[in-house]
Structure 1
């Protein structure tokens, strides 16, 4: 990911927060003719520096998981178009796109048996307050679990980018944030205003 110094996220806590808030990621295996890219939710275990997920066994990426391959997970945070008409000097600016993103490189660790079921239960608990995987009859649950490949992605590298008009004046950043708020792009507008006095 191309990251000019002004837009680099250095703080791992900020990257982890984005990964938790925008946890539907694009996962792919670089270097392959078909990178087996897939869109899946990933749960962050920040203490262990791992991402937890699962895919259908029929998904081509499942073979890469079982082989313990290196992978890339891309998390996209808030993003929106920025019009040059929103600046104090519109004719001095060009259209752009502001956004936040985190790229995670790591190694797949396939999960089987009790480890896989514990992983699935952990993911489900993030979204469900009542239903549990153990509510399914044991035989049917075993058949369903056999049709998926659970995994962890051991994090080896994190790269974060926050292109939030940091290279513009505080006045212009406020103007852009107000225009974004008017369009309902509140999350991005709030991120742009952090640290602007």
Structure 2
């Protein structure tokens, strides 16, 4: 991870909020030969137990086998990103760059048993479906159907041991450059550019 000190977010609450807002992560492990990865939604918790990531994965996959062998994992949280052209700088005859936000969380993964996995699926489903109104709510599913599908998946919990963040928002540039970058990005039709501009504005 590119960890220039002026790009690192020191406010732990902002980092946690970013993780919760970008919780469709890339989860990376190692099977002894190659790195393995999968994209997966998680719930991000912080309490007296520390920071935890909870989700589920299919069992018949390379990443499940890797996590079963080696419990060291890396979770990558990625936010909006955009190309920043040096043409808008006070001195444009320099290198252009890329602005982005990213958090990496390292920790130990624990694969769950059937009962724990059922609770993970129930919580995930009811987080996105209205339990009182949705025909796809967890309690509307046939129990035999749930049990059949639970055999193919495993819930997991990651106890986070280390968090690193990079919120690269042109903090190393002059106030004039930052203002001109924001103005340029706001005028774009690219939603990523607009989000980065808003982040830069909030950071000024």
TM more than 0.5:
yes
Q: How many pairs were matched up?
A: 195
Mapped contact 1:30–1:72 kept (Cα < 8 A): no
Which sections of structure 1, spanning at least 5 residues, go unmatched?
Answer: none
Which sections of structure 2, spanning at least 5 residues, go unmatched?
Answer: none
So what's the TM-score if we normalise by structure 1?
A: 0.92
Root mean square deviation, CA, Å: 1.6
After the TM superposition, which residues 62-81 of structure 1 pair with which residues of structure 2 at under 5 Å, given as runs? 62-67=64-69, 69-81=71-83
Distance, in Å, in 2 between the alignment partners of 1:42 and 1:12 is: 19
| Bigger Cα displacement from structure 2, 43-52 vs 60-69 | 60-69
Moved over 4 A (4+): none
Question: CA deviation digits over 1:111-157, x for unaligned, max 9?
Answer: 12222111112222332223322321111110111111110111111
Distance, in Å, in 2 between the alignment partners of 1:118 and 1:3 is: 37
Mapped contact 2:29–2:70 kept (Cα < 8 A): no
Partner of 1:120: 121
Distance, in Å, in 1 between the alignment partners of 2:66 and 2:140 is: 30
So what's the TM-score if we normalise by structure 2?
A: 0.89
Mapped contact 2:42–2:54 kept (Cα < 8 A): yes
Mapped contact 2:84–2:99 kept (Cα < 8 A): yes
Partner of 1:104: 105
Distance, in Å, in 1 between the alignment partners of 2:11 and 2:69 is: 32
After the TM superposition, which residues 152-171 of structure 1 pair with which residues of structure 2 at under 5 Å, given as runs? 152-171=157-176
